[in-house]
């Protein structure tokens, strides 16, 4: 039986973490291929519902990463994101959602090595936790986004 390989979704900001991941690439640092990145202009853009959606779509772990406080390309987007996460984390923890599967980080455009390390650590942790079976999934046949006419 194939060993369980976790699916991890990463929501990243364009200016810092996406660029940092690019640097990981140009530095040829290897990390696990389990991550799928969703590029957004800023962590401030990340709606908390997207994290739940990711789990609902079958993700076993989620990473959210952006610029360090004070370095946001849009000056304050990550500050707003941080507040949102402080509250969101508390709520989902209270409800019994596994916080070990949700990781927040600041990865700057210069931290290529940190990105690789982060992904590898998160994937390893989530692999040990196993698939996130208890989280409800979008039912098969639930409307997928409509084909655009």
Partner 1 sequence: MPRIGVFICHCGENIAGTVDTAAVAKNAADFPGVVHSIDYKYMCSDPGQNLIKEAIKEKKLTGVVVAACSPRMHEPTFRRACAESGLNPFLCEMANLREHCSWVHEKGEATTEKATDLVRIMVEKVKRNRPLYPISVPVTKTALVLGGGIAGIQAALDIANAGHKVVMVEREASIGGHMAQLSETFPTLDCSQCILTPRMVEVAQHPNITLYTYSELESLEGFIGNFKAVIRKKARSIDETTCTGCGACIQKCPTKKIPSEFNAQLGMRTAIYVPFPQAVPNKPVIDRKNCTFFKNGRCKLCERVCPAKALRYDQEDMLVELNVGAVVAATGYQVKDTDFFPEYGYGAHKDILTGLQFERLASASGPTQGVIKRPSDGQIPETVVFVACAGSRDPAKGINYCSKICCMYTAKHAMLYRHKVHSGKAYIFYMDIRAGGKMYEEFVRRAIEEDHVNYVRGRVSRIYKKNGKLIVKGVDTLLNSRPVEIEADMVVLATAMVAQPDAEALAQKMKVSYDENKFLSEAHPKLRPVEMNTAGIFVAGACQAPKDIPEAVAQASGAASKVIGLFSKDELSREPVVAVVSRMGPPDFSTCIGCFLCESACPYQAIEREEIKARDGRLIKTVAKVNQGVCQGCGTCVALCRSKSIDLQGFTNEQVFAELVTL
Partner 2 sequence: MEALQKKARALLEAGTVKVVIGYTAGTDVERARAFFARNAEQTQQLIFDARCCQNLATYLMKPEVKALGKAALVCVPGALRTLMQYAVENQLADETVLALAVTDAGEVVELPKFAAVEEYLAKMPRGLTPEQQQELDRIDKLPLEERWAFWAAELARCVKCYACRAACPLCYCSRCITDVNQPQWVPVASDPLGNLEWNVVRAMHLAGRCVDCGSCADACPEGIRIDLLNHVLAREASAHFGAEPGYSTRKDYALSAYKPDDKEEFIR
Structure tokens at 51: 């994290």
Q: Stretches 6-14, 22-30, 33-41, 95-103: which one binds partner 2 (CB under 8 A)?
A: 95-103
Q: Stretches 3-11, 13-21, 32-40, 102-110: which one binds partner 2 (CB under 8 A)?
A: 102-110
Rounded to whole angstroms, the Cα distance separating 97 from 65 reads 20
By CB under 8 A, the residues from 34 to 53 that bind partner 2 are: 48-49, 52-53
Among 41, 91, 110, 124, binds partner 2 (CB under 8 A): 91
Angle value at C-alpha 5, between 25 and 131, nearest 5 degrees: 130
Residues 6+ apart with CB under 8 A from 59: 7, 8, 9, 132
Min CB(114)–partner 2 separation in Å: 8
**Contact set with partner 1 (CB under 8 A):** 5, 7, 9, 14, 18-19, 21-26, 28-34, 36-42, 44-48, 50, 53-54, 57-59, 72-77, 80-81, 84, 116, 144-145, 147-149
Residues 6+ apart with CB under 8 A from 67: 13, 15, 16, 17, 43, 73, 78, 106, 108
Q: How far is C-alpha 17 from the chain's CA centre?
A: 11
Nearest to partner 1 of 40, 63 (CB atom): 40
* Most distant CA pair in the chain, distance: 49
Residues that bind partner 2 (CB under 8 A): 48-49, 52-53, 56, 69-70, 76, 79-80, 82-92, 94-98, 103-106, 118, 134, 136-139, 142-143, 145-146
């Amino acid at each position: 039986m194939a060993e369980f390989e976790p699916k991890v979704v990463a929501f990243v900001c364009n200016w810092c973490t996406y660029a940092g991941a690019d640097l990981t690439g140009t530095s040829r640092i290897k990390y696990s291929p389990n991550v799928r990145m969703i590029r957004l202009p800023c962590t401030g853009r990340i709606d908390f519902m997207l994290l739940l959606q990711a789990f609902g779509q079958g993700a076993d772990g989620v990473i959210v990463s952006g610029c360090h406080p004070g370095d946001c390309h849009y000056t304050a987007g990550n500050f707003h994101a941080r507040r949102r996460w402080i509250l969101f984390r508390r709520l989902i923890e209270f409800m019994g959602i596994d916080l070990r599967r949700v990781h927040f980080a600041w990865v700057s455009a210069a931290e290529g090595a940190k990105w690789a390390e982060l992904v590898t650590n998160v994937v390893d942790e989530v692999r040990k936790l196993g698939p996130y079976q208890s989280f409800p999934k979008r039912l098969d046949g639930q409307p997928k986004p409509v084909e655009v006419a």
